[in-house]
Amino acid sequence: MAGQFRSYKWDPICIISQIIAMQCLFYTSLSIWIVMMNVIVHNNSSLDQIFSYRILRYNELNGRLLMIAFVLNSSTCALGLWYIVQRTKQCLDYSTTVHVVHFLLCWCYNYQMPNTVAWWLLNLVCLILMTVTGEFLCMRTELKAIPVYLGGRVDLL
């Protein structure tokens, strides 16, 4: 295995740490985006804005701004994938994990499974956006040229 480039080693502590870091980033950045949207419309912040599926109504201004906050959060979390995960192959895994944990927490918070089309579409779009943007950023980093230094210059003539 010494000859492989970026050989992969099973490290559950690293994986769990990355999952926790991504989940913390997801909720911290989502909270910041929601607070910024609430400042625009002079609305009070609540946990319902993060976990309640009933509040996501695209025919109301508050619901649309909340949806915008979720989409902007996907871009922020894509930067987190780039910084924390740093592997193109694992972006889909971590994005899905973040959204599945969010789904389970929403289910526990509401005491029922989210059943609105707007919630499911929004989370699907956010999952896709987070994954594709994170993969793009990680791929650009992985495909950078590897500098090769030969030491001092040697004139062969």
Encode the chain (157 residues) as per-residue pLDDT tens digits.
444 444 567 788 988 999 999 999 999 999 999 999 899 888 888 888 889 888 888 888 888 899 999 999 999 999 999 999 888 888 999 999 999 999 999 999 999 999 899 999 999 999 999 999 999 998 888 787 677 766 666 555 5
Using CA atoms, how far apart are residues 38 and 63, in angstroms rounded to an integer? 11
Supply angle C-alpha 122, 65, 80, rounded to 5. Answer: 60
Q: Indicate the pTM of the whole model.
A: 0.83
Q: State both tokens at 65.
A: 């701004």
Supply angle C-alpha 51, 110, 94, rounded to 5. Answer: 45
Supply angle C-alpha 108, 111, 117, rounded to 5. Answer: 90
